[in-house]
Amino acid sequence: MAEKKVKIQKEETANLIDIEAHVKHMLVTVEGDGDLVLNKMNARNERMLMADDRKSIKQVPNLWEDIITSIHWRDDLGMDDTYVESTEDILHNLLKTNAPCITAFGLKKSFGDAVVRNGIDKYKTKIDNAINVIAENGLIPVSFSGWDVEKRLMSPKKGSPLTVYLNHFHNWNARFQVDYLDHVYSRDQILNFINLAGFGGGIGSGRSSGYGRYHIVKVEE
Protein backbone atom coordinates (compact mmCIF):
# COMPACT_ATOMS: atom_id res chain seq x y z
CA MET A 1 0.00 0.00 0.00
CA ALA A 2 2.83 2.39 0.84
CA GLU A 3 4.44 1.97 -2.60
CA LYS A 4 1.11 2.68 -4.35
CA LYS A 5 0.69 5.88 -2.31
CA VAL A 6 4.10 7.16 -3.40
CA LYS A 7 3.31 6.41 -7.03
CA ILE A 8 0.09 8.45 -6.90
CA GLN A 9 1.93 11.41 -5.38
CA LYS A 10 4.50 11.30 -8.19
CA GLU A 11 1.76 11.28 -10.85
CA GLU A 12 0.01 14.26 -9.23
CA THR A 13 3.27 16.21 -9.11
CA ALA A 14 3.93 15.51 -12.76
CA ASN A 15 0.51 16.92 -13.69
CA LEU A 16 1.02 20.23 -11.86
CA ILE A 17 1.08 23.30 -14.11
CA ASP A 18 4.13 25.53 -13.81
CA ILE A 19 2.21 28.79 -13.33
CA GLU A 20 5.29 31.00 -13.47
CA ALA A 21 6.18 29.67 -16.91
CA HIS A 22 2.78 30.77 -18.22
CA VAL A 23 2.45 34.20 -16.58
CA LYS A 24 2.94 37.00 -19.10
CA HIS A 25 2.93 40.74 -18.46
CA MET A 26 1.93 43.73 -20.55
CA LEU A 27 1.30 47.43 -20.01
CA VAL A 28 -1.89 48.67 -21.63
CA THR A 29 -2.77 52.32 -22.25
CA VAL A 30 -6.43 53.16 -22.85
CA GLU A 31 -7.90 56.43 -24.05
CA GLY A 32 -11.39 57.67 -23.26
CA ASP A 33 -14.06 57.95 -25.96
CA GLY A 34 -16.06 60.29 -23.73
CA ASP A 35 -16.00 61.74 -20.25
CA LEU A 36 -14.89 59.64 -17.28
CA VAL A 37 -17.25 60.21 -14.35
CA LEU A 38 -15.98 59.49 -10.83
CA ASN A 39 -18.33 59.43 -7.86
CA LYS A 40 -17.63 57.16 -4.90
CA MET A 41 -19.17 57.63 -1.43
CA ASN A 42 -17.87 60.89 0.03
CA ALA A 43 -16.25 61.32 3.44
CA ARG A 44 -19.25 63.03 5.05
CA ASN A 45 -21.55 60.10 4.26
CA GLU A 46 -18.86 57.66 5.44
CA ARG A 47 -18.64 59.45 8.79
CA MET A 48 -22.42 59.27 9.15
CA LEU A 49 -22.50 55.55 8.43
CA MET A 50 -19.60 54.80 10.79
CA ALA A 51 -20.97 56.83 13.73
CA ASP A 52 -22.30 54.81 16.70
CA ASP A 53 -25.05 57.37 17.19
CA ARG A 54 -25.78 59.04 13.87
CA LYS A 55 -28.13 61.61 15.40
CA SER A 56 -25.34 62.92 17.64
CA ILE A 57 -23.03 63.64 14.70
CA LYS A 58 -23.58 67.08 13.25
CA GLN A 59 -22.63 66.95 9.58
CA VAL A 60 -22.53 70.41 8.00
CA PRO A 61 -22.37 69.89 4.24
CA ASN A 62 -19.28 71.27 2.57
CA LEU A 63 -19.59 71.26 -1.21
CA TRP A 64 -15.84 71.03 -1.83
CA GLU A 65 -15.23 68.27 0.70
CA ASP A 66 -18.02 66.25 -0.92
CA ILE A 67 -16.51 66.77 -4.38
CA ILE A 68 -12.91 66.04 -3.34
CA THR A 69 -13.63 62.93 -1.29
CA SER A 70 -15.93 61.38 -3.91
CA ILE A 71 -12.77 60.63 -5.94
CA HIS A 72 -10.19 57.88 -5.42
CA TRP A 73 -6.80 59.66 -5.30
CA ARG A 74 -3.36 58.27 -6.08
CA ASP A 75 -1.93 59.75 -2.86
CA ASP A 76 -4.07 59.13 0.22
CA LEU A 77 -5.89 62.22 1.50
CA GLY A 78 -6.40 60.96 5.04
CA MET A 79 -9.47 62.03 7.02
CA ASP A 80 -8.32 65.20 8.77
CA ASP A 81 -9.82 68.67 9.10
CA THR A 82 -8.07 69.87 5.94
CA TYR A 83 -10.79 68.25 3.88
CA VAL A 84 -13.65 69.10 6.23
CA GLU A 85 -12.67 72.72 5.54
CA SER A 86 -12.08 72.13 1.82
CA THR A 87 -12.17 74.95 -0.70
CA GLU A 88 -12.10 75.18 -4.47
CA ASP A 89 -8.41 76.16 -4.26
CA ILE A 90 -7.57 72.92 -2.39
CA LEU A 91 -9.30 70.91 -5.11
CA HIS A 92 -7.46 72.65 -7.94
CA ASN A 93 -4.16 72.08 -6.13
CA LEU A 94 -4.94 68.37 -5.76
CA LEU A 95 -5.70 68.10 -9.47
CA LYS A 96 -2.22 69.48 -10.17
CA THR A 97 -0.19 67.59 -7.53
CA ASN A 98 -2.18 64.38 -7.03
CA ALA A 99 -4.14 62.26 -9.53
CA PRO A 100 -7.71 60.92 -9.68
CA CYS A 101 -7.88 57.14 -10.10
CA ILE A 102 -9.98 54.30 -11.35
CA THR A 103 -9.78 51.00 -9.47
CA ALA A 104 -8.02 47.86 -10.64
CA PHE A 105 -10.92 45.85 -9.17
CA GLY A 106 -13.49 47.72 -11.25
CA LEU A 107 -11.41 47.43 -14.40
CA LYS A 108 -10.90 43.67 -14.03
CA LYS A 109 -14.60 43.21 -13.26
CA SER A 110 -15.50 45.03 -16.47
CA PHE A 111 -13.37 42.57 -18.50
CA GLY A 112 -15.25 39.61 -17.05
CA ASP A 113 -18.60 41.31 -17.62
CA ALA A 114 -17.65 41.91 -21.26
CA VAL A 115 -16.80 38.22 -21.78
CA VAL A 116 -20.24 37.17 -20.53
CA ARG A 117 -22.15 40.02 -22.19
CA ASN A 118 -20.65 39.24 -25.61
CA GLY A 119 -21.33 35.52 -25.35
CA ILE A 120 -17.67 34.50 -25.27
CA ASP A 121 -18.25 32.48 -22.11
CA LYS A 122 -21.33 31.77 -20.00
CA TYR A 123 -19.53 32.71 -16.76
CA LYS A 124 -16.62 35.02 -15.97
CA THR A 125 -14.92 32.57 -13.59
CA LYS A 126 -12.39 31.51 -16.23
CA ILE A 127 -11.18 35.03 -17.02
CA ASP A 128 -11.22 35.98 -13.32
CA ASN A 129 -8.74 33.16 -12.68
CA ALA A 130 -6.62 33.83 -15.77
CA ILE A 131 -5.88 37.57 -15.52
CA ASN A 132 -4.93 40.15 -12.90
CA VAL A 133 -4.82 43.94 -13.14
CA ILE A 134 -1.78 45.08 -11.15
CA ALA A 135 -1.80 48.52 -9.52
CA GLU A 136 -0.30 50.07 -6.40
CA ASN A 137 -2.96 50.13 -3.68
CA GLY A 138 -5.38 48.87 -6.31
CA LEU A 139 -5.58 52.34 -7.90
CA ILE A 140 -4.77 53.38 -11.48
CA PRO A 141 -4.00 57.10 -11.97
CA VAL A 142 -5.84 58.95 -14.73
CA SER A 143 -4.44 61.74 -16.90
CA PHE A 144 -6.88 64.28 -18.38
CA SER A 145 -7.00 67.61 -20.17
CA GLY A 146 -10.07 69.12 -18.50
CA TRP A 147 -12.42 68.70 -15.56
CA ASP A 148 -15.78 70.00 -14.35
CA VAL A 149 -18.52 69.09 -11.86
CA GLU A 150 -22.12 68.22 -12.68
CA LYS A 151 -24.76 68.77 -10.00
CA ARG A 152 -27.47 66.12 -10.23
CA LEU A 153 -30.46 64.92 -8.25
CA MET A 154 -30.38 61.14 -7.87
CA SER A 155 -33.17 58.87 -6.62
CA PRO A 156 -31.84 55.87 -4.68
CA LYS A 157 -33.85 52.65 -4.48
CA LYS A 158 -34.56 53.45 -0.84
CA GLY A 159 -34.88 56.83 0.86
CA SER A 160 -35.25 60.39 -0.35
CA PRO A 161 -33.63 61.85 -3.48
CA LEU A 162 -30.05 63.03 -3.00
CA THR A 163 -28.07 65.86 -4.53
CA VAL A 164 -24.75 64.56 -5.82
CA TYR A 165 -21.79 66.18 -7.53
CA LEU A 166 -20.29 64.14 -10.34
CA ASN A 167 -16.69 64.76 -11.37
CA HIS A 168 -16.28 64.72 -15.16
CA PHE A 169 -12.79 64.25 -16.60
CA HIS A 170 -12.36 65.10 -20.29
CA ASN A 171 -9.90 63.58 -22.80
CA TRP A 172 -8.66 61.08 -20.26
CA ASN A 173 -6.29 58.14 -20.48
CA ALA A 174 -4.87 55.53 -18.11
CA ARG A 175 -1.99 53.03 -18.19
CA PHE A 176 -2.13 49.76 -16.27
CA GLN A 177 -0.39 46.39 -16.02
CA VAL A 178 -2.13 43.15 -16.96
CA ASP A 179 -0.71 39.77 -15.89
CA TYR A 180 -2.28 36.78 -17.63
CA LEU A 181 -1.88 33.03 -18.14
CA ASP A 182 -1.05 32.48 -21.78
CA HIS A 183 -2.11 28.81 -21.77
CA VAL A 184 -5.66 29.97 -20.94
CA TYR A 185 -5.96 33.10 -23.12
CA SER A 186 -3.57 34.57 -25.67
CA ARG A 187 -2.32 38.15 -25.63
CA ASP A 188 -4.63 39.09 -28.52
CA GLN A 189 -7.65 37.54 -26.78
CA ILE A 190 -6.98 39.53 -23.62
CA LEU A 191 -6.65 42.75 -25.64
CA ASN A 192 -9.90 41.93 -27.40
CA PHE A 193 -11.66 41.52 -24.03
CA ILE A 194 -10.33 44.91 -22.90
CA ASN A 195 -11.55 46.64 -26.06
CA LEU A 196 -14.96 44.97 -25.77
CA ALA A 197 -15.21 46.13 -22.14
CA GLY A 198 -14.28 49.67 -23.15
CA PHE A 199 -16.70 49.81 -26.08
CA GLY A 200 -19.78 48.35 -24.43
CA GLY A 201 -19.31 48.80 -20.69
CA GLY A 202 -16.75 51.42 -19.76
CA ILE A 203 -15.49 52.30 -16.29
CA GLY A 204 -16.53 54.70 -13.54
CA SER A 205 -20.00 56.09 -12.84
CA GLY A 206 -22.72 56.85 -15.37
CA ARG A 207 -21.87 53.90 -17.60
CA SER A 208 -25.54 53.32 -18.47
CA SER A 209 -25.53 56.86 -19.92
CA GLY A 210 -22.47 56.12 -22.05
CA TYR A 211 -19.79 57.63 -19.83
CA GLY A 212 -16.42 55.96 -19.24
CA ARG A 213 -16.07 54.33 -22.65
CA TYR A 214 -12.50 53.75 -23.89
CA HIS A 215 -10.25 51.92 -26.35
CA ILE A 216 -6.65 50.67 -26.36
CA VAL A 217 -4.06 53.01 -27.86
CA LYS A 218 -0.79 51.35 -26.83
CA VAL A 219 0.49 47.97 -25.65
CA GLU A 220 3.96 47.40 -24.18
CA GLU A 221 5.32 43.95 -23.42
pLDDT in tens, 174-218: 999 999 999 999 999 999 999 999 999 999 999 989 999 999 999
Contacting residues for 135 by C-beta, under 8 A, at least 6 apart: 103, 104, 176, 177
Domain that holds residue 96: 23-220
Give the whole-angstrom CA distance, residue 171 versus residue 36: 8
Count of structural domains within the chain: 1
Evaluate whether 66 touches 167 at the Cβ level (below 8 Å).
Answer: no
In a domain, 165, yes or no: yes
In a domain, 7, yes or no: no
pTM recorded for the entire structure:
0.84
Q: To the nearest whole percent, how much of the chain has pLDDT over 90? A: 64
Could you tell me which residue, 78 or 217, shows the higher pLDDT? 217
- pLDDT of 81 above 60: yes
pLDDT at 217: 98
In a domain, 189, yes or no: yes
Specify the amino acid at residue 16: L
Give the whole-angstrom CA distance, residue 120 versus residue 192: 11
Average pLDDT over every residue of 71-96: 89
Specify the amino acid at residue 210: G
In a domain, 64, yes or no: yes
In a domain, 142, yes or no: yes
In a domain, 89, yes or no: yes
In a domain, 12, yes or no: no
Q: How confident is the model at residue 138 (pLDDT cuts 50, 70, 90)?
A: very high
Give the pLDDT confidence of 9-67 residue by residue, as tens digits: 444 555 666 777 789 999 999 999 999 999 988 887 777 777 665 555 555 678 899 89
pLDDT at 52: 63
pLDDT at 7: 47
Could you tell me which residue, 35 or 80, shows the higher pLDDT? 35
- pLDDT of 141 above 60: yes
Average pLDDT over every residue of 57-85: 83
In a domain, 155, yes or no: yes
- pLDDT of 4 above 70: no
| Mean of per-residue pLDDT scores for the chain | 87
Give the highest mean pLDDT range of 53-62, 80-89, 161-170, 200-209.
200-209
pLDDT at 8: 41
Average pLDDT over every residue of 126-151: 95
